[in-house]
Amino acid sequence: MQNQSALDSRAAPRRAGWLRYASPAVFYPLAGRMIPFLALGAALFACAGLYIGLVVAPVDSQQGEVYRILFIHVAAAWMSMFLYLVMAGYAALGLILNTRLSFMMMRALAPTGALFTFLTLWTGALWGKPTWGTWWVWDARLTSELILLFLYLGFMALQAATDDTQRADRGGAILLLAGVINVPIIYFSVQWWSTLHQGASINLTTAPSMARIMVTAMLLMVAAFWLYSAAVALARVRGIIAEREPGAVQAGSPREDAR
């Protein structure tokens, strides 16, 4: 009977399929194996994107050389919104299913999302000065992007405000879900209001308004930022797992224990 119970306990994770990776002990070593590949991919895509965008792509007939800032600006803007939606998805999973790893991933993604939001605002200012003649205007898209930065910073401040991790996780999750409404406002602001900010150069319904080589450089930068975000988030969540559940780290690293 004991042997049968042992077999059943070993078979249970296999039957669970991908759900077993919701366990911090199982996810911890998997994340460690994925990080080097994601980081290498991010570096390769970034080098390719920057080379094409800064060297190969032609000079824009209207904006001149300054338009090259957009290869970083647009990719960072997309990632700032995407990462917030991913965090909100983890927040919903954590609240509904009470999965510990969901709250950990939510927390691990926040600094990277804040970084890309700041990068979006900063590169936008660098582009806006020679193009609009000013570093900043209270444009609908700029203002809603600034609100997104405040949401990221507010989430991180809330996490650091208490040592009660469960309370911080649930409070942060509620804040994230409440702030989701800001993401479509950012995206559709140029359609809903008359703004200085130009419309989207790439969307799913019409052909790109940019040259193909420019689109290629922009998509390469998006891929680089996505891979970077994944690598950094996995590295950060490993630290969170080690801090919150050191027993899970030991359980997920039998080879290290053997050595």
Q: Mean pLDDT over all residues of the chain?
A: 83
Average of pLDDT values for 227-231? 97
| Contact between residue 73 and residue 221 where contact means Cβ atoms under 8 Å apart | no
Which residue has 């660098």 as its token pair? Answer: 126
The per-residue pLDDT for 5 is 38
**How many Cα atoms occupy the beta-carbon half-sphere of 141 within 13 Å?**
23
**What is the gyration radius of the CA atoms in the chain, in angstroms?**
22
Contacts (Cβ under 8 Å, ≥6 apart) of 55: none
The per-residue pLDDT for 63 is 73
pLDDT in tens, 54-98: 888 887 767 777 788 888 999 999 999 999 999 999 999 999 998
pLDDT in tens, 173-203: 999 999 999 999 988 876 766 565 555 555 5
First to last CA, the chain: 33
